[in-house]
A and B are shown apart, each in its own frame.
Chain A
Amino acid sequence: MASGSELPVNESSVLKGHEGAVLAVRFNADGNYCLSCGKDRTLQLWNPHRGIHIKTYKSHGREVRDVHVTSDNAKLVSCGGDRQVFYWDVSSGRVVRKFRGHDSEVNSVKFNEYNSVVVSAGYDRSVRAFDCRSQSSEPIQIIDTFQDSVMSVHLTKTEIIAGCVDGTVRTFDIRIGREIVDQLGHPVNCISLSNDSNCVLASCLDSTLRLLDRSAGELLQEYKGHKCKSFKMDCCLTNTDAHVASGSEDGFIYFWDLVDASIVSSFRAHNSVVTSVSYHPKDSCMLTSSVDGTIKVWRK
């Protein structure tokens, strides 16, 4: 298969350093570095291309579930089981601020385009926005129309998009002040945006990925074959938007063709649940993390 050859299916290096499960791994904006976080309450900064560990950030009181780095690589934001959102300085490794407000674990966190707002989604059925520029640790916006735990949040220039266990993908358009609810009927585990931001990929807990057209709310395609029933797992689109990638609970990685939804490639990557996948913004390179405590770098 010609299209499959450019997929990152070869293990380039393994990043070991986390004790216990790695819950998320994320490339930074330019794809030169990556951040991982895990059950051992730490964040780790890596150079995945050289396979070296750079820094460890410790301050969380419980497991760390998500991390995001600003586009200028100056600040980090992380969240986790301790119900707080931590705002870090990358170079010094200190916590600049802790945003409180969530009543329960925080599942996902993101910066906005200008790195001025942190938006977090939590188990307390809410999405909260925090202002990085003020001294206040209180949220500037609370969206609590969700019916269940909010698993994943993404931001565009004008929108907040969140996937929720109540089976909805909700888009909050700040520009026109509307909430657009796309009901999928199955708990949404993770959402991911296509690189042109026209589509949203939602990983549902019925072991199906669903690709939605954002403007009309139509279901474009469904991707099946992997196993995703109980764990928080990530999905993503490749840098060219040609393929859809997701981990599986049995340690496999699956690649589907975006258009015809056929499985292009699948291989065993980890011994255990693949918690997170992150695709390089430009190259054909992918990171996967797993409960077995490893992060693997994949290249074509």
Chain B
Amino acid sequence: MADVDEEDYVYFGTPIEREEDTSSRKRKAVAEAGTVRALAPWKQEVKDEEGRRRFHGAFTGGYSAGYYNTVGSKEGWTPQTFTSSRKNRSEVKKQSINSFLDEDDLKHIGGNALETSMQYDTFGFTAAEFARKKAEEEQKKRPSAIPGPAPDEIVLPASSSIGKKLLMKMGWRQSSSIKDSNAEALYEIRREARKAFLAFPSGNAEFELLEKDTVDTDEFPEMSTDVSCKSGNTPVYVLDPKQDMCGLGYDPFKHAPEFRDSKKLRESKSGEKNKGKIRMGGNLLSSSSGKYAPGFGIGALEELDVEDEDIYASGFFDYEQTEVELEPSTAVKEINGDNMLRLEHKKQASLLGFKPASDSDYKLERFRPPAIPPNFRPIHKFAVPLDQTLKDYNNAPPPDALRPEDANLRLLIDGSAAMVARCGKSIEDVYMEKSKTNPLFFFLRSGAEGHDYYIRKLWENKQKFVDESKQAEKLTSEKRGRILGERPLASTTFGGNVVSVKAREVINKQSTLGDTSTKPISLADLPESATKAFKHDPAKQERFEQFLKEKYQGGLRASGTISSTTTSAMSEANRARERLDFEAAADAIEKGKRNTQISAPSTDHAKDLLGFGEDRFVSSTFIENPETKEEATKAVYPKREQFEWRPSPILCKRFDLIDPYMGKPAPVPRPRSKMDSLVFLPETFKSTNREEAKFPVRGSLEASKSGLKEAEAEPSGTEADVAPTSPKNVERPVDLYKAIFSDDSEDEVADAGPTLNQAPDPVKSSEGANKTLNRLVAGDFLQSLGMELGLEVPPDNRPGPPLIANPISPPEQRESPKGDDRNNTALTEVEDTKSKDYGSTADYSREKKRSHSRHRRRRSRTPDPDSGSDSDSDGGHRSGSKRRRDRRDRSRNRDNESSDEASLYRKERRKKHRSRKHHEHKRKDYGDKHTDMKRRS
């Protein structure tokens, strides 16, 4: 069955050979073929097609090896003479494909080898190519005058093409054009024919002539027209005729193709014919908008910016162009023309392959602007003023009217009444106009249905409108305040003439803000004329009064009230100066010298105050006074102002100057705008006093107050001595240290206060003292930090025993240190009362504090810096609350803790050092006096 079936089928193609069909040996041989070939020759085995080794006899050696078991070489054992390869190296064999092919391959390949044939080279290209190749080959072999490959134009094909051959056979000659030769040939034939005709009888001659004419005109039109072509060969077109003086083959635009275009353009411009045909290529210098300085491009990574615009090319100057190729005079025009053309091109936006039409049918139709009637006024005025109409309706409320039943009508009346109320009489006129045609608006006419209602509605609307507008314009800050239930600020007036309304405003504001609870105390006990020493400057006057109050009332005073009197905008120096003025004035009052003229240095403070206040407050009662504005703008130039400015310590160092702000706290940033002041104030507030929650204003005032103290402390001699000795202190941010130590120093002061009751004004002086303490502490902190970090810290050269062994010092000074101290405190106290050496009381208290701390410290002095004994020993002195605050402080500055301890110790030591130094100074003075006295006696 199966056979029958198979016979029925017809098979196409060859069946796929199955794997199993091939013998396993053969497969193995195929698989091994690769590996075997990789083996060394002597390891390879000879095998037949089936992969079997040839076995050539059990007795002759088994399997066959190379060269029939002789040796491993073709020559076998044949003896040979030795030839050294040293002299004659193996020559370089020229390898070709044949050397890699065996006979079989060659046999296969040999039949199909392709060769070029010259026979059908119609246009001679192949011949030219061939010739060029030949020439190149030859060139390699012999030296040539022209180095490098020969130019194509020089090499001509040696053989002529088949086409040329054909043409030659057809009678074409080298120097004549193809068409011509053809025509000429034909013409020749005809001529011959004509000659033959001429030989015929003359009766046919006329016909002949006619025929000739027709032939001439019909068949050879070019003969008559294109005579010039007759004799010449096809003209040789040279694409770029050489017109410049550059060397052969030199392309001046090789690296700057953008200039080629501009040159072409210039040429095309000079030759007027083909104008506008040049299309600009990608030009590097091209820019969308106009003028950029020629000559200098910008970097690839930079953008063309406004900065690159050529601001100087403003008309009266043309750059000298420096390109080699372009004439200088035309260069600029070139570029300008360039831009114009490009612009034009852009404008037309013609597609590739399209050309903008030279004359288009489309024309933009332009209309003349409408003629304005001569009596036209550009401002529209309502026929009846709005207020007038409002007033009318204000007065006479029309009688209440019934609303019409028709809901639509009612809506319409409501709407139009509202409209008329808002927009005035004119819109009513419009409606009236409408009512003539439209029955819907009949209600406008008197007597019609709904007219009364309309009148009533209109009146109501207007009433409402008036109320609204009234409210909108009358709601001032006062009213707002009243609505919100605020207490109106009591406005106090000052005696004497006032610099400006604004200034007074500000002062009012500040005083009311500062002490809302307490009224300014009138200095009744003092004569009026004396206390009004600064009459011309109310701000200053107020400060002065405050100063007097402080001075004569004395005692403890909440720090809050201090802040209300001074302004933070004042610079430290100004404040110091003013302070001195105040002192002088107060002295004058005291001594009863009423007629002394107290010169007020400047009105700077008032100005500062003004600027400061303006930024901060928006006055409630002050309505902007145009006159003051005028004054401000009319100010004569040049105007001089002074501000505080902080040079950085390193800048001072580089300029070889002493930093004027060395060791001073961070400045209060000058408020530039409202926003600035708002942003910065909390900062200063935080840094100055964290304890009390106050107004931000007050915080800043506080800061300025402390600054004032600082300024006062400055002129003292000891400060100047101490300050430059620690260049280390230069780079520290003072605030940080203050944040860490300010509480501590307060404690110190608090300690110092009760023990030294004799101090004239302990609270006031405490702030100045704080600052100096902070400064010292900060220095110590750096030192301790350096120690912790393992850096070498320069030793504190404190004056030791030599001080005591001072030969000049009197014998009682040479006693025990305790006695020494006592003497000194006594001395300072004495000086307190009489001397004017120091600008402020801060120094005295500081001195006291030092001497006091020295008393305390004597007991707990330990040589070990890490013991932290300071706080332990202090424990006895401190009250519970102080200690608690301390603890809080510590926890806040947890990371600074250890250094805190160490620095506390150091601070104490430094303080001692300072006081000792000072004592020494004093001692010297004293000693001198002593010796003087001795001498005198």
Contact = CB atoms under 8 A, between A and B. Distances in A.
A117 B651 contact: yes
B638 interface: yes
Interface string A169-187: 0001111111111111100
A164 to B, nearest CB: 13
B637 A184 contact: yes
Given A21-B312, A61-B302, A143-B645, A219 B651 contact: no
Nearest to B640: A217
A185 B639 CA distance: 9
B109 interface: no
A212 B573 CA distance: 25
Interface in A1-51: 19-21, 39-41
Interface in A152-175: 157-158, 172-175
Interface in A171-223: 172-185, 210, 212, 216-219
A293 interface: yes
B84 to A, nearest CB: 62
B302 A177 contact: no
A179 B650 contact: no
A254 B311 CA distance: 23
Contacts of B660: 174-177
Interface string B678-710: 000000000000000000000000000000000
A179 B296 contact: no
Given A105-B307, A143-B645, A172-B647, A114 B640 contact: no
Nearest to B311: A231
Nearest to A105: B307
Nearest to A147: B672
A183 B294 CA distance: 39
Interface in B282-331: 293-296, 298-299, 302, 307-308, 311-312, 316-317, 319-320, 322
A40 B643 contact: no
Interface in B555-583: 571, 573
B778 to A, nearest CB: 19
B150 interface: no
A177 B651 contact: no
B259 to A, nearest CB: 16
Interface string B879-906: 0000000000000000000000000000
Interface in A247-297: 271-273, 291-293
Contact of A179 (B308, B644, B661): B644
B312 A177 contact: no
Contact of B643 (A131, A145, A185, A212): A145
B656 A114 contact: yes
B657 interface: yes
Contacts of B317: 271-272, 291-292
B296 A20 contact: yes
Contacts of A182: 638-640
A117 B650 CA distance: 10
A112 B655 contact: yes
Given A21-B312, A174-B655, A219 B296 contact: no
Nearest to A175: B657
A130 to B, nearest CB: 10
A183 B639 contact: yes
A171 to B, nearest CB: 10
B615 to A, nearest CB: 15
A141 interface: yes
B642 interface: yes
Contacts of B446: none
A240 interface: no
A86 to B, nearest CB: 16
A210 B638 CA distance: 10
Contacts of B643: 145, 178-179, 181
A145 to B, nearest CB: 7
Contact of A183 (B637, B648, B656): B637
A212 B651 contact: no
Given A178-B643, A293-B320, A184 B638 contact: yes
A181 to B, nearest CB: 4
Contacts of B644: 177-179
A140 interface: yes
A39 B296 contact: yes
Among A62, A113, A177, max chain B CB count under 10 A is at: A177
Given A20-B296, A172-B645, A217-B638, A129 B312 contact: no
B514 to A, nearest CB: 28
A158 B655 contact: yes
Contacts of A180: 640-642
Contact of B312 (A217, A219, A273): A273
A183 B641 contact: yes
Contact of B642 (A113, A179, A219, A271): A179
A177 B647 contact: yes
A179 B645 contact: yes
B169 interface: no
A257 to B, nearest CB: 21
B637 A178 contact: no
A217 B201 CA distance: 127
B934 interface: no
A273 B310 CA distance: 13
Given A20-B295, A175-B660, A81 B654 contact: no
Given A131-B654, A174-B657, A210-B638, 15 more contacts: A21-B293, A41-B296, A114-B654, A114-B656, A129-B654, A157-B655, A158-B655, A158-B657, A178-B573, A178-B645, A183-B637, A183-B640, A271-B317, A291-B317, A292-B317
17 contacts: A19-B296, A39-B293, A114-B655, A114-B656, A129-B648, A131-B650, A145-B645, A175-B658, A175-B660, A178-B645, A182-B640, A183-B638, A185-B637, A217-B638, A271-B317, A272-B312, A273-B312
Task: Report the 4 A-B pairs with minimum CB-CB distance, sorted nearest first.
Answer: A217-B640, A179-B645, A177-B660, A185-B637
Interface of B: 293-296, 298-299, 302, 307-308, 311-312, 316-317, 319-320, 322, 571, 573, 637-648, 650-652, 654-661, 670
